[in-house]
Chain A
Amino acid sequence: MSVPYITSRLLYGIPLMLGVTFISFLLMVHFGPDKTYELIGKNPTEEQINEVRQSLGYDQPFLLRYGNYVKELLTLDLGLSDSSGEPVSSILIKTLPISLALVLPGFVLGNLLGMALGLLAAWYRGKWLDKLVMSASVVGMSVSFLVIIISLQILLCTPYGLNLFPVRGWQVHGLGSYFYYVTVPTLALVLVTLGYNTRFYRAIMADEIERDHIRTLRAYGAGPAELLFKHVLKNSLIPVLTRIMFSVPFVVVSGSLLLESYFGIPGIGLVTFNAITSGDQPILKAVVGLTGVLFVLALTINDMLYSVVDPRVSKS
């Protein structure tokens, strides 16, 4: 990986970041609700109004306000939450680990299971096992996330089912309580992503398995595990990496938003959900802006990984 290649990728990321921050600025700061009248008393004078507007920065020109927003994001000096008065950055730092602990097991399991099922289907392509796995994945794709969560809750958390796990909450003190609270959300996340993952991995594996060198290896009696890790996955690493990189924001942000607001787990998703319902602008603009910037960063790193995986990429 050469230095000019790295700089060119970084330069490519800058317009994207500007765009992401600009859109979140436009939606949440520029067109966002005017907070002037929440902060002043009854029958304010012209002067008082101007004073409050000045302290909120409303009198500044458009571009300057945008510049301030970008500066806030870069320095992580995100202001105070409207509802709790706590600094937004400390709220985010406090809640991020919880969200990751909640979402990562499901994300990893969903991909591994999808890979295994995809390989199984591709291996027995056209046979009944392939058809069974693919029909099941269409069924999986047709069930809404919300329906999966509610069904699991009925089956596992209420007296109408097995009643093994808590209905909601997150009081994690050790490994035991972690499993107690994380199992049902993890199962939901695995089930909602499994159908899509299986289809994706099957499509990739089916393409790869048809290749001549794989057919020859199969004829020589190489087993599925050896073929998968040594030959198939290695050659399909680029689409797999892209898929995983692109699904991280979906699974982490959207997954935690829904799971945490449903199960009452105090992670970033619940903070965001509460900010949506109460109109807490400092939190919303920080979360949207930061995830956008982080996603562009992840994409840039992804592009760089390409050239590690496949040196031809950086030469073209």
Chain B
Amino acid sequence: MMGGAWRRLKSDRYGMTGLFIVIVFSMVAVCVWSGLLGQGWSDVSGNRWESVSTTHWFGTNLLGQDILQRTLFGTATAFEVGLLVTFCSTLLGTVMGALAGWYSHGWLDEVILWLKGVLDSIPFYLFAAAVAFALQGIPWAMHLAMIITFWTTTARIIRGEVMRIKQREFIEAARAIGLPSIKIIFRHVLPNTFHVLLVQASIVFVAAINTEVILSFLGLGIQDGVSWGLMLAESSQEVLAGHFGNFVAAGTSLFVLLMGFNLLADALQDALDSRRATA
């Protein structure tokens, strides 16, 4: 199945463009983590609001820091937030969704659905504000808020998939030979939801990066370091005075990366669609 999916993905021009964009940005992030790029993000290397030049490709900001360096460093921040939130919320959502789906209509299912209903009822930015308020001074408040709210969608999708898969004969066979439920869920049910998880994870990634920008603007986001959201927040004052460096650099990087992920997510959805895979 995966071979066919890869072949379909390869023939999708938009999907491959998306994949290429994502790979380029993740390479930048890896270079920042390993200390090759963007290390001068906090150095004051020029005057206030210098315009574009060969030393400062995107100019400098209010404090005279190089905007290019900050943009590169922001790539790493975006991936840090995206990867952490996607990994944790997907893990949590998968486990919760699998339990709810396997024991569907039992008490465990009811409790998980109730929890999901409760978390879905609080508008997200307010919830993030509440978490940040409760965890004052803890830099992970934003990540935690996203993980707590983003797992519910993954859980809903996995619950549906598990309820569908558990009707299948090979699960009945696994039950008949006396395998314990946990083993059946993790060995035989969940691997069959991989394609759905992959698509959902790329959607969560986009949501996480997008949300970081808004939360950082509201002052609830990244506490130390620099992110595209913080740069855009800075630029909201600067553009009125005609300094567009921060806005163009952060806005464009954000747009291109989100675009890449959206194209990739769409192409993955098409390529991994089980109805097309069996056809």
Chain A interface (Cβ < 8 Å from any Cβ of B): 15-16, 19-20, 22-24, 26-28, 31-33, 138-139, 141-147, 149-151, 153-154, 158, 160, 167, 249-250, 253-254, 257-258, 261-262, 272-273, 276-277, 279, 281, 284, 287-288, 291-292, 295-296, 299
Total interface residues on B, CB under 8 Å, equals 45
B257's nearest neighbour on chain A, judged by CB, is A142
Interface string of B120-131 (1 = CB under 8 A from A): 011111110111
Q: How far is the CA of A254 from the CA of B127 in the complex (A)?
A: 11
Out of A32, A167, A281, A292, name the residue touching B121 (CB < 8 Å). Answer: A292
**B218 x A273 contact (CB < 8 A):** yes
Out of B114, B124, B130, B213, name the residue touching A144 (CB < 8 Å). Answer: B213
Q: How many A-B residue pairs have CB under 8 A?
A: 140
**A257 x B117 contact (CB < 8 A):** no
**A276 x B134 contact (CB < 8 A):** no
Residue in B119, B121, B247 whose Cβ sees the most chain A Cβ within 10 Å: B121
- B262 interface contact, C-beta 8 A: yes
What are 10 residue pairs bridging A and B, where the CB atoms are less than 8 Å apart in the complex?
A23-B118, A23-B130, A27-B133, A144-B232, A145-B214, A147-B255, A160-B239, A167-B240, A257-B125, A262-B236
B242's nearest neighbour on chain A, judged by CB, is A160
**A32 x B129 contact (CB < 8 A):** no
Q: How far is the CA of A151 from the CA of B229 in the complex (A)?
A: 15
Given A20-B122, A253-B123, list of 8 further CB < 8 A pairs? A15-B114, A143-B255, A145-B213, A150-B239, A153-B239, A254-B214, A276-B219, A288-B130
B241's nearest neighbour on chain A, judged by CB, is A158
Q: How far is the CA of A287 from the CA of B123 in the complex (A)?
A: 10
- B45 interface contact, C-beta 8 A: no
Q: How far is the CA of A32 from the CA of B132 in the complex (A)?
A: 10
- B254 interface contact, C-beta 8 A: yes
User: What are the residues of chain A within 8 A of B123 when measuring CB–CB?
Assistant: 249-250, 253-254, 291, 295
User: What are the residues of chain A within 8 A of B222 when measuring CB–CB?
Assistant: none
Q: How far is the CB of B115 from chain A (nearest CB, A)?
A: 7
Out of A276, A287, A299, name the residue touching B218 (CB < 8 Å). Answer: A276
Q: How far is the CB of A189 from chain B (nearest CB, A)?
A: 14
User: What are the residues of chain A within 8 A of B235 when measuring CB–CB?
Assistant: 150
Q: How far is the CA of A139 from the CA of B259 in the complex (A)?
A: 7
- B217 interface contact, C-beta 8 A: yes
**B114 x A16 contact (CB < 8 A):** yes
Interface string of B266-278 (1 = CB under 8 A from A): 1000000000000
